Structure formats: structure tokens, C-alpha cells
Amino acid sequence: MENKTKNPKPYPAMRALDVIPVRHRGQNLFYLKDMDGLTQNPVVLTKEQFFIAACLDGKSGPQEIQTAFSRQFGRRVLTVKEIDDVVRLLDGNFLLLSPNFEERLRRVRAEYGRLKRRPTVFAGLSYKARHEALEAELDGYFKKPGPGKNETDGRKELLGLVAPHIDFPRGGWAYAWAYREILSRAMADLYVVFGVAHAGPPVPLVLGTKDYETPFGPVAVDDDLAESLARAAGTDLTEHEFFHRREHSIEFQAVWLAYAAKKLKKEARILPILCSSFTEEDGTLRRVEKTLDHLAKLLKNYPGRICLLAGADFAHIGPRFGDAEPVAELLPWMKTEDAKSIDRLLEKNAPGFFVSVMAEGGKRKVCGSGCLYAFTWLLKRLHPEAQGKLLKYGHAPDPAGGEVSFASMAFTEG
């Protein structure tokens, strides 16, 4: 009888990860960043290991990967053990779509679900962890190129604010330009905070219900409003609340709001909403606008002053973000195109803004496009007379070889 061997099972597929090229001791390496934070260990691969990882599509087994490897690297023979070693490394760190990952995700989701407050994630990493040191740090960002100590004209009510979500060491001065607008006035009774869901949840909007911890103390969520919105929207906006767990775009705003509240001897209250991508073609844009319509109706009856707030960055250019051209070559173009998008925002023209960021196939990679669309759409719905002003525009280098742009903008009563 002929001995027939079955084809080996395909390996599990790689999860969607942020891949950051790094250079260490003359060697090109690849750092795999898990946006969900399921692994506590840094996973760094060599060029050959990364090629193996890139072949893990859920369909390929050892033979297919060996064949692809030979085509890429020539005559060198890739052993099954080498493939298995990479697979074990990735699966051990929950980076594959495997039962191991699913169990880890289930456990972490359950742990987060039991928490009453969202813990700080970036305290001690992106900003000081102790409140005295953090207050001094944020105070320092008001120095040049920050706005200085002079207050802005606070006679007109602040209706909307756009601030960056880049890390403080690179963009703290731009946050200071934005939050000076709050510090020059009384705190609003509610800040509707739109952030960017970088980890890409399967829904366009994710409502947060947990108070945000900060070194200055917790920033409370308006529970009644959150419940009313979820009920009015007719869908579970909190089904994927887990995506708030490690997202920095709203955490950074919560820190600055808590700082402003401390300075003004008031409390900060928020309604935090993460925005993922959405398009007209797949119907998600209509879902977003329907939810925002429900929110607008609730806010019109809200017993207090409201300020909309978007924590968003603009362009991401350079080799770090997949561009073939060097940063210096792209900078003039980036500034010109960013200016067009900012003009659309100042006009409260959400569709026009979306068209501007999608120009040239979305080459600028504006990660805050959904967040800024939702902010602008709701602002126009609530305050068609609002007057917008660009406070400051800037950009900063990415350590891995790129550039990120951002802006601070204020919208006041007309």
C-alpha cells in the first residue's frame, strides 16, 4: 500500500499589529507592537523571522513558507524548526489568531469589565505619574513655543476645541495652546470627548462608561447621559468598550482636563467616544450620523454648558508610515494639504474635510479623520453660528523615521 502523508495544517494567522522598523547594532529589526496590550513583552524579530511572520496568513503551512522563503532569500534552506520557533514566540505573546490569543483576550476583557474606573496606562511613560510632578510638567509646556501665561479672550463661550493626541514631550506645547482656552474661562459642565480608536474596533463608535483615572484624580463620565445615548441609539455602543482600555487619545485629554479643573478648582465631567474608520460605501457613515443625531438631541436638553473636544493628530508621513519618499521631500506637500483640511474644519464642513483627507488615496494617513468628522458634524448641528480659529499648527519627528502633524483649534459662539 502506498504511504500517503497528509499536508500539515496551516499555521494560525498573524493579528493586526503595528510594525516598527528599528536599527540595533547595525542590524535591521522589526518591533511588533500590540495595540491591545495583551503581551507585556517586547517582541523584536530579525529580517528573516519577520518574513516568516508575514507569511502567517492562516492558509500557509511549512511547505508554502519554505518555498516563499527560498524565493526571497535564495538558496538558504529554512527548516520547519525555525518556522515553529517563530510561531511559538508569536503565539506565546498572543500575537496570532489562535486559541491561546482568544483565551487571553477573554480573560483581559473580563478583568477590564469588572473595573469601576479605567486605570491610567501612560502615567510614568508619556507623562509624570505623580500629580505634583505632572502639574509642573504641564505648566512647563506653556513656555515658548507654548502660549505663555497670557490669557486669551474668554468672554465668548467655548463651544468646541481640537487638541493633539501626540505624546506630551513632542506636542505638549500644542496642548497648552488648546487648553489655555479652557483655563481662560470657567470649566464647562460637560466635555464630549472624541478620540481615535487606533486599535481598530469592528464598529465605528465606542462609548466609554468608566471614569478615567489621572494622577490628579478621576475624571467622571456622565453616567445618565451615557445610558441615554446607548438607549436612544438602539445599539450597544459599549459592546467594545474594551478598546478604551489602552487607547491614549482620550487618556491624554482626561489628563489635561483634570489639570485645568485643578487650576480652576472645579470638576471635569466627560462623555468619552472613540471613533474608528467609517465610509459611505459600507453604510457605517450613516450609522455614525444617526448616532450623532441622537446625541445632538440629548445635548440640546442637557442642563449645563457643553464643550465638544476632539483629540486628534493629522498627517503621518515618511518611511515609518510606509512612504517611499523621505520626510524632507514630503513636508511642504504635507503642510499645504493639512492647511486645506484645517480650512474645512474651520468652516465646520465635515464632508469637505473628509474629501480633503482622502485626497490622493489618503496618502497623508490622517489618523484623526473619523474623530474630527464626528466632532465637526456635531458642532455644526448644535452651533451652526460657531466661529473657528486656528490657534497653532505644528509637526514633530517620529523616532522611527517619520513626521506627525497636529493642530490646536478653538470654536466660540458667533
Q: Strand 117-118 and strand 158-163: pairing?
A: unpaired
Among residues 197, 196, 162, 184, which one has the least CA distance to residue 394?
Answer: 162
Q: How far apart are CA 372 and CA 366, in angstroms?
A: 10
DSSP 207-245: E--SEEP-TT--BEE-HHHHHHHHHHHTS-TTTTGGGGT
Q: Give percent above pLDDT 90 in the chain.
A: 84
Q: What is the pLDDT of residue 6?
A: 56
And the C-alpha cell for 30? 522589526
Strand partners, 316: 404
The pLDDT of residue 200 is above 90: no
165 close to 313: Cβ distance less than 8 angstroms = yes
Instruction: Name the class of domain 118-412.
Output: alpha beta
How confident is residue 22, by pLDDT bands cut at 50, 70 and 90?
A: confident
- Amino acid symbol at 203: V
How confident is residue 407, by pLDDT bands cut at 50, 70 and 90?
A: very high
- If you search the block for the grid coordinates 463608535, which residue do you land on? 205
The pLDDT of residue 345 is above 70: yes
pTM over 0.85: yes
| Residues in the chain, total | 414
Q: Give percent above pLDDT 70 in the chain.
A: 98
Q: What is the pLDDT of residue 34?
A: 92
What angle separates helix 80-92 from helix 62-73, to the nearest 10 degrees? 110
The pLDDT of residue 64 is above 80: yes
And the C-alpha cell for 272? 468619552
Number of other CB atoms surrounding residue 236 within 10 Å: 11
The domain locations on the chain are: 18-108, 118-412
| Burial of 29 per CB tally in 10 Å (0-12, 13-18, 19+) | middle
Q: How far apart are CA 94 and CA 16, in angstroms?
A: 12
The pLDDT of residue 223 is above 80: yes
The pLDDT of residue 5 is above 70: no
Q: What is the pLDDT of residue 267?
A: 96
